[in-house]
Amino acid sequence: MGSAPTDRAPGVLRRRQLLTGAATAAAGLAGGSFALNALAPRILPETPGVDPNTSYWARALPAPNAALATSIDADIAIVGAGFTGLSAAFYLRGLLPGRRVVVLEALRCGNGASARNGAMLLPSTGDRYLHAGEDAALDARIDALTLENIGRLKRLAATLGMDAEIDTRGAAHALLTLDEAREAEDTALKLRNRGIPIEYWSREQVRAALGTTAYAGALHDPRAGQLHPGKLVALWKLAAERAGAEIYEGTRVESVEEGRVHVLTTARGDRVRAPVLVLATNAYGSRLGYLRRAAAPVWSYAAITAPLEEADVAALGWRAALPFDDSRTELYYLGLTRDRRLHIGGGKVDYLFNDGTPGSVTAGERHGALKAMLAELYPSLASVAFDAQWAGAVDMSLDASPSVGTLGAHRNIHYAIGYSGHGVNLTSVFGRILADLVGGNRDEWRWLPYLDRLPPYLPNEPFRWLSIRARLAAIRALE
């Protein structure tokens, strides 16, 4: 069953470090042609707009609210209604109950990554997770902050009586090579000595838990888990509305005129005037002219089967339906839903010139590759069909680390970006921080290394495309 683990070159625990290493190339290329890099956004404006969500998770999204149909004044305007925007709205109304908080969403709540993802609910951040970094105390503090948020999600679901299928029976990070497995055993020991209960699993333990022999070992996090992303969006939408936020869907912000009071113009031509702007546009921010330097939209592909027969699932030997991803730089991730649908995502990603969206031919190829990988991991499913397949943009930063902070001449534009494929849980931690930044509680977060920083500089086109393509080519040559 599956391909055997190999003794290939070490590249240990590269989890979500997709663009790391492109930094030098990017800086060199852009630095060499400084003028062109600076002019590029004006010569090559990005195509505005967002693509519709065709994922399976989107079937569980709540009916969309009406679009904004007139010009309004608000106290706080949030652009984007994924986990970040909706959770920020919820926390803002809790912190500043008298303020008018409006959320403007181009298509519908959960249109972006929030209802297209791999459903893995993970502590920590993309750059720190499963690493024993040099600053053990800081790592532990970030781990505790994000772990506490998983508890918050569960409590919110219980309070609102909504089932987002949150299941924290653990998640695994499967390791392809023997070198990776050896290093992971050491990492697990270090993490456990720091009080973070990560377990190392041998190849036999992986086979017993996941039912595949494709991996040389794994790291198991008993605190992580999975959920239904579409239902989590529904949960956050209800929470934000119950807290008193107004949500307008089908309302794309086309431009922002910055000032002490910003003027946002929608695609329909209505205006929203607000002294505070929160950018929760994730991978689409650059299309609105923001945060282009901090993250690039890297497209990842996913698919899901129809419900499998109970006997077919039992035959896989995938105990406790434990979600997992693997140690490829272009990683795969798999999970089983409560109604026995198997979902798989990842593999080759795409960056399209000038932050574009992939077409159906590329997506078709990538979904075909997912089918082949599923057959490799679980040969008994070689002929199973997909019920839905989709693509989603990841806001990938060069160092896989997120950022949250404040911008603008009047320090009244707040942003969160760069989750780098590790945001199902982290987004609502950052939603809470965004509320604190608006509400004047910045000091509480000074310890956080992601506050008011931006990741290493990503250049404009054509350097952006060249450096990311070069990085992807290098990864593929190595792996």
Question: Contact residues for ligand FAD (CB under 6 A)?
Answer: 50, 79-85, 104-107, 111-114, 116-120, 122, 252-253, 280-284, 288, 300, 302, 333, 345, 392-394, 419, 421-425, 427
User: Cα–Cα distance between 211 and 235 in angstroms, integer?
Assistant: 33
User: Cα–Cα distance between 398 and 278 in angstroms, integer?
Assistant: 23
* Beta bridge mates, 303: 344, 389
User: By beta-carbon distance, which residue lies closest to ligand FAD?
Assistant: 423
Shortest distance, CB of residue 426 to ligand FAD, whole angstroms? 7
The single-letter code of the amino acid at 429 is V
Give exposure, 409-424, as e/b (b: 16+ Cβ within 10 Å).
eeebbbbbbbbbbbbb
What six digits make up the tokens of 238? 């209800």
Considering beta carbons, is residue 182 or 348 the nearer one to ligand FAD? 348
Considering beta carbons, is residue 30 or 417 the nearer one to ligand FAD? 417
User: Cα–Cα distance between 476 and 479 in angstroms, integer?
Assistant: 5
What six digits make up the tokens of 377? 């991991």
Considering beta carbons, is residue 5 or 85 the nearer one to ligand FAD? 85
Shortest distance, CB of residue 251 to ligand FAD, whole angstroms? 6
Considering beta carbons, is residue 29 or 157 the nearer one to ligand FAD? 157
Shortest distance, CB of residue 16 to ligand FAD, whole angstroms? 9
Shortest distance, CB of residue 81 to ligand FAD, whole angstroms? 5
Burial of 55 from C-beta contacts in 10 A (0-12 / 13-18 / 19+): buried
Give the residue among 412, 373, 391, 318 at the shortest CA–CA distance from 117. 391
Burial of 257 from C-beta contacts in 10 A (0-12 / 13-18 / 19+): exposed
Report the 10 Å Cβ neighbour count for 139.
20
Q: Which residues are CB-neighbours of 454 under 8 A, at least 6 positions away?
A: 291, 293, 294, 403, 405
Considering beta carbons, is residue 14 or 203 the nearer one to ligand FAD? 14
Shortest distance, CB of residue 36 to ligand FAD, whole angstroms? 26
Considering beta carbons, is residue 107 or 157 the nearer one to ligand FAD? 107
State the angle between helix axes of 229-242 and 136-160 in degrees (0 to 180), rounded to the nearest 10. 70
Considering beta carbons, is residue 5 or 82 the nearer one to ligand FAD? 82
Phi, psi angle pair for 289, to nearest 5° = 90, 10
How many residues belong to the chain? 479
Shortest distance, CB of residue 134 to ligand FAD, whole angstroms? 24
Shortest distance, CB of residue 331 to ligand FAD, whole angstroms? 10
Shortest distance, CB of residue 380 to ligand FAD, whole angstroms? 24
Q: Which residues are CB-neighbours of 76 under 8 A, at least 6 positions away?
A: 92, 96, 99, 100, 101, 102, 274, 276, 277, 278, 438
What six digits make up the tokens of 142? 């970030």
What six digits make up the tokens of 415? 């942003």
Considering beta carbons, is residue 30 or 398 the nearer one to ligand FAD? 398
Shortest distance, CB of residue 53 to ligand FAD, whole angstroms? 8
Shortest distance, CB of residue 283 to ligand FAD, whole angstroms? 6
User: Cα–Cα distance between 375 and 379 in angstroms, integer?
Assistant: 4
Considering beta carbons, is residue 37 or 111 the nearer one to ligand FAD? 111
Considering beta carbons, is residue 30 or 106 the nearer one to ligand FAD? 106
What six digits make up the tokens of 94? 């809790």
